[in-house]
Amino acid sequence: MLTPLYDAVLLDRDGTLVEDVPYNGDPEKVRPLPGARAALDRLRAAGVRLAVVTNQSGLARGYFTERQMHAVHARIEELLGPFDHWAVCPHDDTDGCACRKPAPGLVHEAARALGTAPRRCVLVGDIGRDMAAALAAGATGILVPTPVTRPEEVAEAPAVARDLPGAVAEILRRARAVRPVVPRAGRAGTVLVVRSDSAGDVLVTGPGIRAVAAGAERVVLLCGPRGRAAAELLPGVDELIEWRLPWIDGSPEPVDPDDMRRLTARLAAVGADEAVVFTSFHQSPLPLALLLRMAGVPRVSAISDDYPGSLLDVRHRAPVGVPEPERALSLAAAAGFALPAGDEPVLRLRAGLPAPAVDLPAGGYVVVHPGSSVPARACPPERCTEIVAALAADGHRVLVTGGPGERELTARVAAAGGTDLGGTTDLAGLARIVAGARCLVVGNTGPAHLAAAVGTPVVSLFAPTVPFGQWGPYRVPTVRLGDAGAACRDTRAATCPVAGHPCLGGVDPAAVVAAVRRLAPG
């Protein structure tokens, strides 16, 4: 089994496994795509269960019979080998069913039939409907484009492979990456782990930190002031050290030699047997690695594309675009640490969080979080106001949340029909509020990862300044909205470089309402 990441791979039929023959009811017209059989056999050999998830509206339209469809499927299995389950939607778009992709029903059905959960499945398909169905179920999506795949579908996809063999190679590579090549013979002593960045960055590093904690006697986490509140919510951490690192901080002050000497002394006082330095793909671990060497830490592990000299004992490399939680897990694995059996590679918070200091409404509610620590990733206030009004008109109770510095924003947005909770709670209280929500509407900011950690579905108003596959909500049901091909794509801009903020300014409030219905029906 490909634990801890995946149990099953779900595959679209037409255009992914076989040539797309519209409304095909003839087994003689089945033509497997190049390399499909060998790719599927690689998955079977790895112990992965396989299912097909396919829309077949030709049944509803009378273009072929169910018997003819089964004959086509038998021919596909004759050519490509057996599948463990076939999940078929027989409806047309006009039927309003819950199974036709982009709805997540087929993914849920296949996961149940295979004895697993959607978050442990990968869906490989050739169009945007496949990716939307995967995300809405909380599964991983990999797009294999064909000539009929639209450019905007490619831009929106969480991951893209050239063909089915390439998608399978990526699935197997990801699974291997989170397994230690050389497992540890015993537990480590004191391990210093580092993640000095914002709350969201700390949260997505949680699985990697838990993997270290599973193999260590004691874990000390070095974090920055912006990530302190999130660090306090992570399981597996025994002690926190808060320190601002000028090579990581987004608004750095000049380097103070005395401050660096104090930091080095503090690190030495930890008495760490080793250190694991977690970073984002654009950050360097080497300045801190130098201080760790000066503090006497005997073993240092980090991801580094730059030559580290003698600063690192374990120099790990991770491909660009890997989801941040898996990137962190891959570094932990390179250092010899792995999640214990039974611990899912999901975001998680420690147990026993305090109740929020506000009274929550009885029954279901939707949370809208309009703010962001990075302005380019925030939906414009006027559009958030329209979203709240549309949700309220659809019958939802809407809570509008934000930090102490966002009270003016939340009051403006909530005035359209929501309840203003801006500045009324800390991050732990916000986690409890989000945990009780039917859905969270939010940009690419810390609360999106907070929702993933408590299992609340996310309508992600995602500005494409950073890759969605890397920073989108991890393994939680999600609908992505916004222009994925906007001019700001992959710029990592903190302030929107395009007038009018078109990537999110054009989000239709009706699309948000439809997304909430898809994620939290009934």
Q: Kindly give, in sequence order, each residue whose CB lies less than 8 Å from that of residue 206, ignoring residues fewer than 6 positions away.
A: 234, 235, 325, 328, 347, 348, 453
Structure tokens at 104: 């997540």
Of the residues 14, 130, 201, 483, which is catalytic?
Answer: 14
User: Residue 481 corresponds to which tokens in the numbers above?
Assistant: 């909205």
Q: For residue 12, indicate whether it is catalytic.
A: yes
**Residues 12, 126, 130, 197: which is the catalytic one?**
12
Q: Which helix (H) or strand (E) segment is 209 a member of?
A: helix 206-214
d(CA 419, CA 486): 32
Residues near 205 by beta carbon (within 8 Å), at least 6 away in sequence: 195, 278, 324, 325, 328
Alpha carbon distance 178, 332 (integer Å): 8
Q: Is 334 left (phi over 0), alpha (psi -120 to 50) or beta?
A: alpha
**Phi/psi at 115 (nearest 5 deg)?**
70, 35
Cα dihedral sign, 126-129-135-137: negative
- 329, 340 contact by CB (below 8 A): no
Question: In what helix (H) or strand (E) does residue 86 lie, and over which residues does it extend?
Answer: strand 85-89
CA distances from 111 to 19, 132, 237 (A): 25, 16, 33
> First vs last Cα of the chain: how many Å apart?
35
Active-site residues, by number, are: 12, 14
